[in-house]
Amino acid sequence: MRLIFAAAVISFAVTGIFGAYSTLSSKTTDNGFSNDYLQLAQNSPDLLRRVITSTLPNCLTDTARVLLDDPMIADLAAKTFFRSGVLMAEGKNAEQSAKEFIPWIIKQAEPLNSVQKNAYLALIKGELTTPDVILCVHSSIKTSIDERIDLKAAVWDIRT
Task: Check pLDDT > 60 for residue 151.
Answer: no
> Which tens digit of pLDDT belongs to each residue from 38-84?
988 998 899 899 999 999 999 999 989 999 999 999 999 999 889 98
How far apart are the C-alpha atoms of 89 and 24, rounded to whole Å?
14
Q: Which residue has the higher pLDDT, 9 or 47?
A: 47
Domain locations in the chain as residue ranges: 2-156
Provide the pLDDT for residue 126.
85
Query: Does the predicted model carry a pTM greater than 0.85?
Result: no
The candidate with the shortest Cα–Cα distance to 124, out of 139, 111, 108, is 108
